[in-house]
Structure 1
């Protein structure tokens, strides 16, 4: 059984799953992941965060496989940052979304890619959630951060991997409805409560195929692991697409109720390093 699992592929979400509630990786989890990797266990991460953030949050973890970033917008070589595949939005869709956000109003933050360079285009951060979103990236020295006074003009010249805006929780459902009506299926619109800035929801707009399930399948093809036993680990609704394509799904006890209902295995909570403990126990560690 252990040999079979060791020959498989393990894909882990970050926030709420591998990371603790303060968005840190514990020393125990870091050492445990490295022990697994050194022992030949094939694992990587699929996150709504960027590869830059993943590299900072997992500093010292010796990942070698590509990572899924921005919820599936990019499949990225972890060592070099080179995108192996992308699902990004064109200028017309982004302009339509910006029109809706301007009427709310909500301050947009765009993650863009011109085929060579990634940028995070942001304004002044007038609300606390947007200010937190930019400040967090500044704290770990994100080289993509770029002040931008005219996101519409910038979007016209590049591809957009992710458009983010923050709205009060009570307004999130109406904002999603307005965006979906304007975009008519040309983009996927999601809203989730921001666990780090209570009272504010993060509205994400991305390519309709920028989701973890498709990205995980592409990952297995790129790495030659299409026939490997696939186990995925997640805590939130955006992890369900990869639950749907996996042979086995695992969730920490703190996961969203719908995720817990779909998980084949439930571990201890993220603040107890439940996922890493589960992995180590499964491979004979401690």
Structure 2
């Protein structure tokens, strides 16, 4: 049986510096050339993933924005788009403002990806803007009226604030739109103390995106092995044959894991893939010879 490996990025495949180590990149490069079926599923955008994964020949599409997009890594072309219903976007936007937050609005305008923003009102938002400017992110759009972005296909609303504020906002959104959207609340590990609340369409999950990959790319006979560290990985853990959590993973995610491995700072994901791939390949070779 073939195997499909899917890894989260931040806190899982990447080290604490948000970079894939030279060791992991080298091993992945070699295994991909041998035919490894591997891709990534992340809350990140394809723009930032192109920088991180440069040099790796991923033949399968990547899963970005927690499943809002399934995209070709090299070109950035979106093969599947799960956008939020316009009326729900407007309703959630009003709620975000009522809680004293101002969101970043991530969209696809039919030609290119955009991230619209208006006022930057706290240090957590400043960190995000500076990080994107440092990366020369071409998606950024400063606007006077964020509602102008709603004419695009909105795939994510992101509010950045302290935990308690966003927890209350998340509760209000779930109370009103629980059956229509997916929400994730997590601390930005690169800017401690500041939390991100992301809101996506209900179909935008890593689990659903992996199912789409399996169906659209002839992988129905493949065993699914996934790696993660945060609660936004739970749905892909639920659909996998083997759900592997790194040592630094959230306690809630570990409840769904079939195996725990070392931390993200120890190249644990790639070491596991290398060993597992070697075992499977050796077994297949022996079987063929016999």
Short-chain TM bin? over 0.9
Aligned residue number for residue 230 of structure 2? 236
Distance in 2 between the 1:264 and 1:48 partners? 23
SS state of the match for residue 119, structure 1? strand
Deviation above 6 Å: which 4+ runs of structure 1?
Answer: none
Distance in 2 between the 1:75 and 1:133 partners? 23
Root mean square deviation, CA, Å: 1.5
Which stretch shows the higher mean deviation, 254-263 or 227-236? Answer: 254-263
Aligned with 1:41 (options 12, 36, 39): 36
Distance in 1 between the 2:277 and 2:171 partners? 45
Deviation at 1:123, TM superposition (A): 2.1
Aligned residue number for residue 283 of structure 1? 277
Aligned residue number for residue 261 of structure 1? 255
C-alpha contact (below 8 Å) 1:252/1:266 kept by paired residues: yes
1:108 and 2:117 aligned: no
Aligned length: 279
Which stretch shows the higher mean deviation, 191-200 or 17-26? Answer: 191-200
Unaligned segments of structure 1, at least 5 residues: none
Aligned residue number for residue 47 of structure 2? 52
Unaligned segments of structure 2, at least 5 residues: 280-290
C-alpha contact (below 8 Å) 2:99/2:165 kept by paired residues: no
Aligned residue number for residue 168 of structure 1? 162
Aligned residue number for residue 22 of structure 1? 17
C-alpha contact (below 8 Å) 2:159/2:166 kept by paired residues: no
Deviation at 1:184, TM superposition (A): 5.0
Deviation at 1:115, TM superposition (A): 2.5
Deviation at 1:125, TM superposition (A): 2.1
- Listed one character per residue, the Cα deviations across residues 19-66 of structure 1 (whole Å, up to 9, x for unaligned) are 011211111111111111112111000001011111111122221210
1:212 and 2:206 aligned: yes
TM-score by length of 1: 0.93
TM-score by length of 2: 0.92
Aligned residue number for residue 285 of structure 2? none
